[in-house]
Amino acid sequence: MNASSPPAPADVDAVVVNRDGGDALFRALSSLRDQRDIGVSVVVVDNASGEAERARIAALDPAPRIIAFSRNLGFAGAANEGIARTGAPFVLLVNNDAVLSADYAARLAEALRGEDRLAAAQGIILSEDGTRIDSAGLEWNARGEAVPVLSGRPAGEAPTAAFPVSGVSATATLYRRAALEALEALPGVEGGAAFDDSFFAYYEDVDLSLRLARAGWRFLCEPRAVARHEGSRTGRRTPFRRAYWTARNRWRTLFRNFESALVARHLFPILRADLAHVRAVGWRGLALPLLVWPRVPFLALRERTGRGSAGKLSHFPAATP
């Protein structure tokens, strides 16, 4: 290839949603720059970070592409912008506080290339110090909550072979673009966007996994791909908002993707899960039921009669290893 030839298109577009990520962001970007055995193009979708941080991103060598906004679109909206403005066959969503092993993208791409009906794959996500498992995918408990697979288990107990999961966390997941684009044919989200922008943050990846599963797609955890995750770098700055978005979006996800009879059977455990969020936030959490529960009948009616009401699930997906 001569000097005037354009660079080969990347196999993977890595999309990092950022809002004042600080040093953690630059550790994440460094790990993306060091990915080997596959072409990775990096895009930072910036949700109104400070000017100093944007300048620091632009000064990197090589500098990632920056898509900057003057307001906070939330994770869902910003991720959609990054996906829409890229074109590689695979899209790697990476939190701004996740650090990937050098073979992370290549191992996940190998898994997706090996099975046409895999919509997405993630690796083993460890805690920041690497001692515990943060997530190996998503599963459901009896309280109607999506929870991370193997969360809290010692890192040494992680499986050594790839295994199917009910869904994937957007912390560090490689999506097949063709699966995301196929959502245009799946009712449920305006315009066929991957994530529902109105979620803003939390449960948007759960909802996406369920909609893909309802369309016949599958998911995988590849434990040879390893990442470390600080966890909730952005969300912990506003714990009440995080609790509110989590509770509201969980109800929306339940009504959108599961049959009403299933939600009704688990109603009291679902309500207890909301009360657990109240306790976690403290005295300010007492306002959560007042804000969320009056909206529940409206959410139930909208998701029941709106687009995407067909093919709902009659059970919570089974737990995985």
Interval 78-88: pLDDT, tens: 999 999 999 99
Residue 311 domain-assigned (yes or no): no
106 and 44 housed in the same domain: yes
257 and 221 housed in the same domain: no
Identify whether the C-beta of residue 251 lies closer than 8 Å to the C-beta of residue 244. no
**Please, what's the b/e burial string for 211-229 (b: 16 or more CB within 10 A of its CB; e: otherwise)?**
bbbbeebbbbbbbbbbbbb
CA atoms within 13 A on the CB side of 115: 15
pLDDT-based confidence at residue 95 (cuts at 50, 70, 90): very high
Residue 284 domain-assigned (yes or no): yes
Q: Stretch 229-257: mean pLDDT, rounded?
A: 83
Residue 204 domain-assigned (yes or no): yes
Residue 314 domain-assigned (yes or no): no
Tell me if the pTM is above 0.85: yes
For residue 89, say if its preceding peptide bond is cis, omega within 30 degrees of 0.
no
Distances (CA, A) of 192 to 73, 179, 182, 211: 18, 11, 8, 11
Residue 318 domain-assigned (yes or no): no
65 and 208 housed in the same domain: yes
Residue 96 domain-assigned (yes or no): yes
Interval 167-209: pLDDT, tens: 999 999 999 999 999 885 444 455 568 999 989 999 999 999 9
Residue type, 162: A
71 and 165 housed in the same domain: yes
Interval 114-157: pLDDT, tens: 999 999 999 999 999 999 999 999 999 988 999 999 999 999 99
292 and 272 housed in the same domain: yes
Domain count, the chain: 2
140 and 224 housed in the same domain: yes
CA atoms within 13 A on the CB side of 4: 0
pLDDT-based confidence at residue 266 (cuts at 50, 70, 90): very high
Identify whether the C-beta of residue 206 lies closer than 8 Å to the C-beta of residue 167. yes
Three-state SS for 321? coil
Identify whether the C-beta of residue 196 lies closer than 8 Å to the C-beta of residue 204. yes
Among 149, 255, 238, CA closest to 196? 255
Identify whether the C-beta of residue 89 lies closer than 8 Å to the C-beta of residue 221. no
203 and 244 housed in the same domain: no
Residue 105 domain-assigned (yes or no): yes
Q: At what angle do helices 51-58 and 23-33 cross, to 10 degrees?
A: 20
Which of 170, 199, 229 finishes a domain? 229
Q: Stretch 210-214: mean pLDDT, rounded?
A: 94
180 and 255 housed in the same domain: no
By residue range, what is the domain housing residue 276? 238-305
44 and 120 housed in the same domain: yes
34 and 67 housed in the same domain: yes
188 and 300 housed in the same domain: no
Find all residues with CB under 8 Å of 41, minimum gap 6, and list them. Answer: 10, 12, 13, 14, 65, 86, 88
Residue 43 domain-assigned (yes or no): yes
The domain that holds 154 is classified in CATH as 3.90.550.10
110 and 197 housed in the same domain: yes
CA-angle at 72, arms to 68 and 78, nearest 5°: 65
Which of 172, 202, 229 finishes a domain? 229
Which of 204, 229, 254 finishes a domain? 229
Interval 223-238: pLDDT, tens: 999 999 997 655 566 6
